[in-house]
Amino acid sequence: MLTNTKCECGHQNPVGTVLCEACGLPVQQEVAESDGLLEMRYEGAARRSQKSNPKLLDRIWNFFSSVKVAVYLIIITLLLSILGTLLPQVNVVPSYDPASYYAEEYGKLGELYYSLGLADTFGSWWYKGLVLMIAASLIICSLDRIIPLYKALKKQQPVKHETFLKRQKVLYIGEVADAESWLKEAEEAIRERRYQVTREGTSLLGEKNRFSRWGPYINHVGLIILLAALLTRGLPGWYMEQGFSVNEGQTVSIPGTNYYLKNLKFTEVKEVGPHVSGQELQFAFETDAILYRCVADCNNPFAEPQLEEVLQHKIRPNEPLKYDGYSIYQIDYAFSPQATIMTLNVLRDGQPIGELVLNLTDPAPAYQLGDVSVELTGYYPELTSVDGVPATKSRLPNNPAFILDMTLADGTTEQYFVVPFQQYQTRISGAEDSEPLTFEIGGMEASFYSSYLMVKVERALPYVLAGALIFLFGVVIGLYWQHRRIWVRIDGSRLIVAAHTNKNWYGLRDELAKILDKTGIEIDAKSLDNSGVGKS
């Protein structure tokens, strides 16, 4: 359909224009023929999406450029989010087999919940897809509006058509005796309220806080930055999260990094707070840790890694260790006393010949005691017996047992089986005629706590935060300030004053009443309300 978009003032408007870009007279037929208030959104300018003959590309564009679609997307996201909070999500479910967990814990409903994919709502492709569609809508809606709006606001003319003025929401019509002197007074009064005033003949335009119109677009840009920043999590090296545990005294390789961490000591602080109940309060926990950089032989079970100390830090909740883009958080801990190093005194005929220092997590295979060489050929951290054969019940040194091959100075060999906690030892092989060696616990080192830590890389965070703050800035200038305009037109002695704001009409009416008061027109702010126009 072809429409004539040329206004009677002579201005040629683009297709889709509602109000003439120059004088404000309605050019769209339906608007021109009705007599209600004018819709002032986007200044009645043509949006890019309003083309006369849409192709596929335009159709997609039009779909995303609609605020209605945006609101639907928001509401759908909202409803799905609600569904996603009904049952715990898979990431917090304490089971490696979520399918059966949901069926077991929540019955048929749980089964359905899991099979619908709601158990992982926020990690699902459809939720992410929805967020992506919101992002598309943010970008396209903004672009579709901001350019024509910018142009329209830039080329405003003070002289507006009478129809345009009369169909504004705030309106005053009266008489003035002397147009020129009244205009002077009015200009003064409007300027006093920090409006910028342009005058053309007997018409005036006062405008302030135009920047507030950019608020929505700024906040959309903020959100787009935020969402784009979240996308970077998929880039290699931008996002990493790994949990690990480290016992007291232990040094472990931090997963996913080239660093090692030693837990010097774990402390749990409990204070009896200054409280009526005498309750234990303000308790805290921390890992006194040393961070090492591994220079060589990293993660090689046959060589000690070569470590360089980087720094020491007490890791507490709210006080992570931060270094080189990595953050290490204190997540949790467990009280699990455990032997870590055991020293065995080796005696011959009651005389000590040396001590064996055994690392119970990963004991070394060979030792030298004076002229006796010792080879550790068997180690059972938690001794048990399976069909009469020694075996280990677990990897925890709860009841360590050792098989020790001794080569004495004279070249004879003996083999011992030693279970220190049970004070049991037996000579498996060796010269029958000599006294066996004896093994006694000489000392022990223990770890009392396991500290659970998490190492994290989150390089997107500053951008996420920047996006959020830009969003907030946009919202604040868009909501707390209002773009206000006052048009004055005097034809002979007839005065028309109309005003428009994007929000807070109450404030605008009040302001206009005060301005008019200054020029000698006393009027109740309420009566400036022109909302009744066109309604019968």
Partner 1 sequence: MARNKWVQLTILAVIIAAGAFTIGANLSKTPAPKVGETAPNFSLYGLDGAAYELNDFIGHPVVLNFWGSFCEPCVREMPLLQKKYEKYRDQGLVVLGVNLDESTVTINNFIRGMNITFPILLDKNVVRKQYGVYNYPTTFFIDEKGVIRQEIVGEMNEGSLPSHDIEKAIKRLLSG
Partner 2 sequence: MNVEQSAALLDLSSTFLMVAFILYNLSFIVFGISVLGKRWSNRDADSHMRRWGGIGLWIAILGLISHASFTGLRWAASGHIPVSNLYEFLTFFGMMVTLAFIVIYAIYRKPLIGLFAMPLSVVIVAYGAVFPSAVTPLIPQLQSIWLYIHVTLAALGEAFLAVGFAAGFMYLLRTVNFKDRSASGKRQIRGVEYTLIALITLIAFIVLVFSFNGAGYRAEFVQTLIEEDELGQKVEVEQTVTYIIPPIVKPHNSVQVEMQPFLGMKEPLFEAPAWMKGVNAGRKLNTIIWSLAVGLILYGLIRLIIRRPLGAVVSPIMNGIDEQDLDEISYRAIAIGYPIFTLGALIFASIWAHQAWGRFWAWDPKETWALITWLFYTAYLHLRLSRGWQGTKSAWMSVIGFLIIMFTLIGVNLVIAGLHSYAGV
Q: Which of 295, 334, 364, 431 binds partner 2 (CB under 8 A)?
A: 334
Q: Which is nearer to partner 1, 34 or 299 (CB)?
A: 299
* Binding status of residue 428 toward partner 2 by CB under 8 A: no
In angstroms, the Cα distances linking 337 to 267, 279, 361, 381, 449 are 13, 26, 14, 15, 6
- Indicate which of partner 2, partner 1, none lies near residue 283 (CB less than 5 to 8 Å, by partner kind): partner 2
Q: Which of 255, 317, 443, 507 binds partner 1 (CB under 8 A)?
A: 255
Q: Helices 125-154 and 67-86: crossing angle, nearest 10°?
A: 150
* Binding status of residue 231 toward partner 2 by CB under 8 A: no
* Binding status of residue 532 toward partner 2 by CB under 8 A: no
Would you say how long the chain is, in residues?
536
Residue numbers 177-216 binding partner 2 by CB under 8 A: 216
- Minimum distance between the CB of residue 318 and partner 2, rounded to whole angstroms? 5
Q: What is the largest CA-CA distance in the chain?
A: 136
Residue position matching structure tokens 């929805």: 130
Tell me which amino acid residue 230 is: L
* Binding status of residue 403 toward partner 1 by CB under 8 A: yes
- Minimum distance between the CB of residue 359 and partner 1, rounded to whole angstroms? 8
**Residue 218 burial (C-beta neighbours within 10 Å; 0-12, 13-18, 19+):** buried
Instruction: Give 382's contacts (C-beta < 8 A, 6+ positions apart).
Output: 392, 393, 394, 395, 396, 397, 398, 399, 400
For 320, how many CA atoms within 13 A lie in the half-sphere containing its CB? 15
By rule CB under 8 A, what string of x and - marks binding of each residue 19-48 to partner 2?
Answer: --------------------x-x-------
**Total Cβ atoms within 10 A of residue 514:** 13
Q: For residue 32, give both structure tokens.
A: 């021109």
Q: Which is nearer to partner 1, 124 or 163 (CB)?
A: 124
- Indicate which of partner 2, partner 1, none lies near residue 464 (CB less than 5 to 8 Å, by partner kind): partner 2
- Minimum distance between the CB of residue 106 and partner 2, rounded to whole angstroms? 6
175/189 Cα distance (integer angstroms): 18
- Minimum distance between the CB of residue 183 and partner 2, rounded to whole angstroms? 31
In angstroms, the Cα distances linking 155 to 28, 40, 46, 341, 398 are 20, 16, 14, 82, 84
Q: What string of DSSP letters covers 6-57?
A: B-TTSPBPPTT-SB-TTT--B-SHHHHH--S----GGGGPPPTT--SS--HH
Q: Which of 82, 116, 173, 231 binds partner 1 (CB under 8 A)?
A: 231
* Binding status of residue 140 toward partner 1 by CB under 8 A: yes
The gap between the terminal CA atoms of the chain, to the nearest Å, is 32
Q: Which of 3, 29, 34, 91 binds partner 2 (CB under 8 A)?
A: 91
* Binding status of residue 504 toward partner 2 by CB under 8 A: yes
Q: Which is nearer to partner 1, 361 or 530 (CB)?
A: 361
* Binding status of residue 195 toward partner 1 by CB under 8 A: no
Instruction: Give 131's contacts (C-beta < 8 A, 6+ positions apart).
Output: 77, 227
Q: Which is nearer to partner 1, 124 or 157 (CB)?
A: 124
Residues that bind partner 1 (CB under 8 A): 48, 57-58, 60-61, 96, 123-125, 128-129, 132, 135-136, 139-140, 143, 228, 231, 233-234, 253, 255, 299-302, 361-363, 365, 376-382, 386, 389, 391-395, 403
Residues that bind partner 2 (CB under 8 A): 39, 41, 67-68, 70-71, 74-75, 77-78, 81-82, 84-86, 89, 91, 94, 105-107, 109, 122, 216, 241, 273-285, 316-318, 320, 327, 329, 331, 334, 454, 456, 458, 461, 464-465, 468-469, 471-472, 475-476, 479-480, 502-506, 526, 529, 531
